[in-house]
Structure 1
């Protein structure tokens, strides 16, 4: 290919720049956090506009915590459904047919004004938010467009990636003109989806189940009169059980846009699915409908065999694909982005070694595997529910069966909507990027202990628990942009050796001493908790580190530290 050379807008050298391939939610989140940290970044995407495909429709609590850090949480929460629209999950024979049960959730206005019950029930300052990707992406796009450090190039297709010893070269074609050029960078991150060119460029392969469940038939449609038939408290998502098909319908804008997913029964020909029949069974009646798109797809459970090779890394769907249940797909990708951004910044600024990029693969691959299995479990647990044709019969028999199935759903599918174990409890085990304490482990060896159970912990590898501070702010609002040492009742003399070591090594470190009462079951004897930029506990102890320089060197991959000198007291 004959290419011209086109440099990015940043005056920084190639060695200080990151190229992100793919401007979906994962790629844009990564770019926004890199830019916030001062790292020049160029984002390339073949599409000239944000997505028109309403794929993911939940931004979970963990992602909202990260968007809070980026200063976007409130804007995101005001987008999507109307402010007063409840976000209940409803189970029914059809959207306008008998209701089996529901899980009630608050509107965005209730979250914003502080009256939402989730604020007391969920251990987070930012409960999950129901917003379609078609409304989320424009918010991230605008934030990138406003950045002076990030550059977003839409309509620019990446055609090849060449990893060299000192830099990566990306071959790009501008779609509208056909003009080709090269851009060089210190690192390239592939956030370019399941068919990732970047993944193929490093020879990484997706491994797992290529067909993990029934195939799906998705219909994106507009109906101006359907919403008026959904009762006095319309839901956000409707799980319906029809005579031939079963699936879900997502209310996208509270007015006229909807997304229907139907399962294709085993043995049926996916190509023979009748879209009109799917809509008739899901809606339960005849409505004025404009079909916007129809997408047949296969449910998979695949994770890349590696996330990192040289100067090329993977995040989001480029690294893992699975059933879109619980919003796990996009949100796991957003966590990838926030786990990776600080590492790239630290390596480029010289206060971390390149081993932290290997740590990224170790940590995120383990969580990807565990999350994919959680999604598959949810799908499997519900696969046998609501199969009896009598479910749709009128009269006492049907009423009794519907009550029975509703009660069963409350037991079986609650885990999908209260997935606190996945959202908050994912823990990095065995990573060089954390220092574990052998004496205080709780026997957990998997990245996710349970889908719907969360035990707050300050053990290394866990998300540092949120709590409300006396001034009404979240603990997260008080953490520094980089590493933060949280202490309880510590003196300057206790902390000074670690601060001095960090200063000598160039590691940005903030100190936050908690004077308020904290949960003793969570903190136990831990008076010193070192938190990474991604809100993950790197190290915790009852006493200050005996050799702070060795501790930081080990955590940041600067050199190999003797294990005996790193043990937590």
Structure 2
């Protein structure tokens, strides 16, 4: 056993964005948690660079969306264009403007626009916020060594690498947010299944004073270079002339290091500068999903249970959503108003979403610069221009689903969940581009701006929220409040007056969960509403839509 003993509600292994999201969610709900990380979480590694609209909506809920906005290295009005070109010094093929919905300004479909920002900066903002929460104990240079569990909790031994001291941590639950080589996943015997080795790639971070001025295509967040020498992605990453470079589909046996990478960047860009390589990181694209996300009191989240090619910007954002989902559900159980089915619903709800997103990422990965190159594409003649128009049209058709993906970000739904009450309405088809808001149970609650300038989401409570129409009977609303108290479930009631909200929420009553997904709706309040609250909080599955109260 360890040299000292520490007791907490939740032990979180891994302090990347997934573990931090979970810790913040728990901290906002006054649940004690210990978050351990074996590293310092510093460095140049590019990892994710897109914080999408849904993740930023969680940041808004936590009160740090403006903090993240202010941390943007190029300012919020830097154009989020994606340019396809033969090289930074060559011909443009096509471009996508406002990729990932990063442009500031109000959009009726969401409360926060996306943001192009290095993951390490996102982590800094999250880490500072997590450390400001009194119930979050964040410990770096601390690694998990062993753990076991029983009916009462998880008993883990962690090692403080600085002090050389073992600590025994007793927690009600443990979550492995410890990445693709998850020790927690190995400890519960979960296996990653799917397709490995789709392609071999490198992440490179380098300094290039003057490159922004010498390249020919104007400001953008990413340039896809389609050429024979070094098909690749390249783009500005941070202040100080810091860029990222990602050659795709590298041949087996090719190694990039500080010495040989500058020449490859010169070949790819056609621009001769004194490139200073800061880091090179090899990675292999795969499509993998864990066969289980849980063993009793131990859960997996983020890359510990799903891995996919990083095309579409889904990985970090999907992991943050995992942390949010687990956070409110574990908090509900520890606070006494959530039941076993709520914990069961984590994998039942998230795994189909992960499968859908993995399919999207693999589809995006199928079209890289390697597949787009044709001999003569960079020719300074009529044939070259015609070929560029032809390839540009192929890119527009094939890559729209990678950069214009609101249907994936906001359109996912939780079907067949034990804590959502279906209303019998037909399931709409999935469209990765065109997001059509719906208050159908399982869907993300449709967003709206209120006349006072606030977001509808700003008025949702930490527990469940009952959104009642303007003509909802006051007696039924009072009955809902009373029965929520009787069921021990936290409930906020809102009754907005804006006409547009009635179109988004056509039923008199809509119940919205803490994660902003709809869990039930109807035109009349049910007689057995205590049973309804017990159903959606995971304590009793016997409720069925039946008796209603007008």
State the TM bucket, normalised to the shorter chain.
over 0.9
Tell me the residue number matched to 1:100. 93
Tell me, yes or no, if the aligned pair for 1:485 and 1:529 is still in contact at 8 Å: yes
1:11 matched residue in structure 2: none
Q: Does 1:189 align with 2:175?
A: yes
Q: Deviations over 1:447-504 (max 9, x none)?
A: xx13212111000000001110111111111111111000112232121222111101
Aligned to 1:269: 252
Partner of 1:4: 3
Please name the residue that 1:63 is paired with: 55
Q: Secondary structure at the match of 2:372?
A: coil
Match of 1:544 among 525, 528, 537: 525
Aligned residue in 2 for 1:53? 45
Q: Could you tell me which of 507, 520, 524 is aligned with 2:489?
A: 507
Cross-structure match for 2:192 = 206
Greater Cα shift, 297-306 or 402-411: 402-411
C-alpha separation in 2, matches of 1:363 and 1:275? 43
State the number of aligned residues: 545
Cα–Cα, structure 1 residues 566 and 284, in superposed 2: closer, same or farther, change >3 Å?
A: farther
Q: Counterparts in 2 of 1:53-452, with a 5 A limit?
A: 53-83=45-75, 84-105=77-98, 111=104, 114=105, 119-120=106-107, 123-211=109-197, 213-231=198-216, 233-264=218-249, 268-272=251-255, 275-381=261-367, 385-438=371-424, 440-444=425-429, 449-452=430-433
Please list every run of 5 or more consecutive structure 1 residues that lacks an aligned counterpart in the other structure.
Answer: 9-13
TM-superposition CA deviations, 1:398-446 (whole Å, max 9, x none): 12211222222222211111111110000011111211111x22354xx
Higher strand proportion: 2
1:74 and 1:442 map into 2 onto residues whose CA distance is 36
Aligned-partner Cα distance in 2 for 1:40–1:354: 20
Alignment deviations for residues 85-106 of structure 1 (CA, whole Å, 9 cap, x no partner): 2221111111232111211229
Alignment of 1:492-531 (within 5 A): 492-518=474-500, 522-524=504-506, 526-531=507-512
For 2:473, the equivalent position in structure 1 comes to: 491
| Aligned residues of 2:262 and 2:276 also touching (Cα < 8 A) | no
Q: What is the correspondence of 1:6-45 to structure 2 with a 5 Å cutoff? A: 6-7=5-6, 14=8, 17-45=9-37
Per the normalisation by structure 2, the TM-score is 0.94
Superposed CA deviations along residues 321-378 of structure 1, whole A, max 9, x for unmatched, are 1011111011001111111111111000100112211101100111111110111112
Do residues 475 (structure 1) and 456 (structure 2) align? yes
CA contact (8 A) 1:346 1:352 kept: yes
Q: Answer with 487-496 or 165-174: which moved more.
A: 487-496
| Runs of 5+ consecutive residues of structure 2 not aligned to the other structure | none
Q: Cα offset for 1:198?
A: 0.8
Which sits farther off after the overlay, 480-489 or 97-106? 97-106
- In terms of mean alpha carbon deviation, does 398-407 or 39-48 score higher? 398-407
Question: Please, what is the CA RMSD of the aligned residues?
Answer: 2.2
User: How far off its partner does 1:6 sit?
Assistant: 3.0
